[in-house]
């Protein structure tokens, strides 16, 4: 008896699910704008964001150019965002802010677009094109909405993204040092500071510039060593002038004392 009861329950559940599925599919493929509109919000409010997104996408064609246009487009983006499909949501929000610059939803849409862009940025070792685009978008958002409620999050994101770019520049230059291409390392490290004197890795960069100068001179033929150790002495003096208490000071002092009379 229990076995038959279980089978009956399974069959009944399957029938209910099939009926619900058929109802949804009929709604999705139908032309009743009002019914579809109400159902889309019903699914959205119940947290069924994937279904809501499909309905809003279908509605976007039916309501284009009407009073509901921006609402449908915005909630289509929101449904994908809530569903954590950030790639599609980014495209939705980008289209929305371009099409509806004066909608009451635009400010929030722009912020959520930033959030999607931020999620699409990559580790410093990888391509940083998305990072540059995100920094530009956040900066423009702050200018356009100086009193926005997300200012703290925006500034934190900018700080992290800029750190990523600065670290990539530093690590790329340091790679030459690691590979013992000291002449190339010196040029690359100096260029990092030329491009951004306030790089947050400045102390480490100046230290490596001094170390690079020393090692390049030390490996040189005797007739060129004196001139190249003079470069090291200049780099050493620049470093200790800025960072007299640095943890690298002792090591550099030792090297400087070794060649000061050359």
Average pLDDT over residues 54-81: 97
| pLDDT score recorded for residue 74 | 98
Distance (Å, whole) CA 231 – CA 91: 52
Closest listed residue to residue 59, CA positions, set 74, 46, 81: 74
Residue 4 pLDDT greater than 80, yes or no? no
Chain-centre distance for alpha carbon 195: 21
Q: What is the DSSP letter of 205?
A: H
Average pLDDT (219-226) is: 93
Q: What is the pLDDT of residue 10?
A: 45
Average pLDDT, integer, range 153-171: 97
For the chain, percent of residues with pLDDT exceeding 70 = 92
pTM: 0.82
pLDDT at position 11 is 46
User: So what's the pLDDT on residue 2?
Assistant: 47
Cβ atoms of 217 and 225 closer than 8 Å: yes
Categorize the per-residue pLDDT at 21 as very low, low, confident or very high, splitting at 50, 70 and 90.
low
User: What is the average pLDDT score of the chain?
Assistant: 92
3-state secondary structure labels for all residues of 86-102: HHHHHHHHHHHHHHCCC
In DSSP notation, 212-246 reads HHHHHHHTS-HHHHHHHHHHHHHHHHHHHHH-TT-
Which two structure tokens, joined as six digits, stand for 195?
Answer: 């491009």
- pLDDT band of residue 31 (cuts 50, 70, 90) is confident
Q: How far apart are alpha carbons 101 and 98 in whole angstroms?
A: 6
């Amino acid at each position: 008896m229990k076995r038959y009861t279980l089978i009956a329950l399974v069959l009944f559940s399957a029938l209910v699910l099939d009926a619900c599925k058929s109802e949804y599919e009929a709604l999705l493929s139908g032309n009743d704008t009002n019914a579809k509109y109400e159902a889309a919000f019903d699914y959205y409010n119940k947290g069924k964001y994937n279904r809501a997104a499909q309905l809003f996408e279908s509605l976007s064609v039916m309501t284009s150019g009407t009073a509901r246009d921006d609402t449908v487009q915005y909630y289509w983006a929101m449904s994908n965002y809530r569903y954590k499909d950030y790639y599609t949501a980014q495209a939705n929000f980008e289209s929305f802010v371009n099409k509806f610059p004066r909608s009451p939803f635009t400010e929030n849409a722009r912020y959520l677009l930033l959030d999607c862009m931020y999620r699409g940025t990559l580790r410093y070792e990888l391509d940083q094109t998305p990072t540059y685009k995100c920094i530009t978008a956040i900066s423009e958002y702050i200018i356009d909405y100086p009193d926005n409620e997300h200012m703290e999050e925006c500034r934190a994101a900018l700080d992290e993204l800029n750190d990523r770019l600065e670290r990539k520049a530093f690590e790329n230059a340091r790679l030459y040092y690691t590979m013992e291409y000291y002449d190339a390392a010196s040029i690359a490290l100096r260029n990092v500071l030329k491009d951004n004197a306030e790089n947050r890795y400045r102390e480490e960069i100046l230290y490596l510039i001094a170390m690079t100068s020393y090692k390049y001179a030390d490996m040189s033929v005797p007739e060129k060593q004196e001139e190249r150790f003079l470069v090291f002495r200049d780099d050493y003096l620049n470093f200790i002038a800025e960072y007299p208490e640095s943890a690298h000071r002792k090591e550099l002092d030792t090297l400087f004392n070794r060649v000061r009379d050359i």
